Structure 1
Amino acid sequence: MRTALVTGASRGIGRAIALRLAKDGFRVIVNYARDGAAAREVVDRIGANAVAVRADLGVPEEVTALAQRVAAETDVLDVLVNNAGIGLPRPIGEVTRADYARLFAVNVEGPFFLTQQLLPLIPDGGRIVNLTSGVTRIAFPEAIAYAMSKGAVQTFTLALAKELGPRGITVNNVAPGIIDTDANAGWLRGDPEAQARAAGRHAVNRVGRADEIADVVAFAASPQAGFVTGTTIDATGGGNL
């Protein structure tokens, strides 16, 4: 049985990815940072072929502990999905050094060093999928530091794809648009005007669903994506075209 690690998999897009990969026959390691109950619910949904592992990707020691736990769970990691991330919806004038440091620790440093430590487990023909964002291809001053962090991940993907290509390991980004998740619930759900504004940013004139992003990740993780690497699969519903 193939094994996948999905970071930030207790809720939202990560949860949908974990459930989809399990449906595709993977044993799934469900990483979470805080919500243990939600992670256990994901594991219960999947059944025996799942395990929950807590680690905050913004803390270097916990990244190392997660990599060690994965190595204890499996000799081969077929798919790594770097999904965990945090937002920072603030313009440049409102971003503190502490905000910036925490954002880049979770969104950039964590995935970088987790991937570095897990590479010995990833076999030839393996898959690495990084979740970025549609904001990397537009001007997005209302969350400038967040957009920068996702831009860094895109550059990471490009370089890593080149390095690992001879082994048949593909490395790709999946870039969601505005998705109806718990993280967006505060400003999106229950506010028809906010929903209309969000939908209007997408060519398809609606907000996306987490399972739609999971479908794209599942393709990037599949054998059918063996000739796709170093690129970004845009899953924004035509955002800001």
Structure 2
Amino acid sequence: MEWRTARKFGSASSIPGVTPPVGAPLDAVYGDPIFVQAQIKQGDLTWKKVGFRLKGNASLNGSWRSGIYKLPFKLKFDEWEDQNPDIKNQRFYGFQELSFAPSYGDDSFLREKLLTQLFRNNGVMACKVAYYKVVIDFGQGFRNCGVYQVIETVEEHMIETQSGKKMGNVYKPESNMQQFISSQFEKQNNQTLADYSDVKQLITTLNSPLRVSDNAQWKKELEAIFDVKEFLRYLAVNNTVGNWDSYG
């Protein structure tokens, strides 16, 4: 596996070598790292042509600069299905995509597991977490990368299994929610459907003049399309645990 997996979309720079050099910065070009093909083994089973890409910000840069091989990454098991029909709808025990967190800055290896359970105990949906020992061949033989916390993705099973509701659009927004700009709402699912009606309605309602002229009516219209109580529960737990990597 080459370190070109760390290169961002649109970058003209290169990522050197197979060994991550101590002190070398990652490419800071905007965008997600690229997917490359990998083969995954678990027990006697093998998944071929799996999409592998690095992820993260502080955790990725911190590990990279320290010359550590234990980097955060994602696997997408059907990333290459258009080019390879033989892996159409390939899944890992039902999962299309999994996120591998190296417990950066957490020597206890417990934060992801305990905090997601804390959210669920307080009525807030949160991804489930499991522990896996990970061994990776970087091109010079297998290297034991230690224990990772493996996390399900929000857009796949979480909403339907924990709420019983049919899942709609899942976004990764970078918006101040004052106006709708499609480029600020990256879709995590339903990418082929240009339907942003849900978030457009939310922004319109949030910024409605009724907020000042008729506050009671504004609240009624907002609560009709947005689960305010669920959001407040999320904020309460999130602020209590001191989550530094999220909104609120």
Greater relative contact order (Cα 8 A, min sep 6): structure 1 or 2? 1
Structure 1 length normalisation: TM-score? 0.24
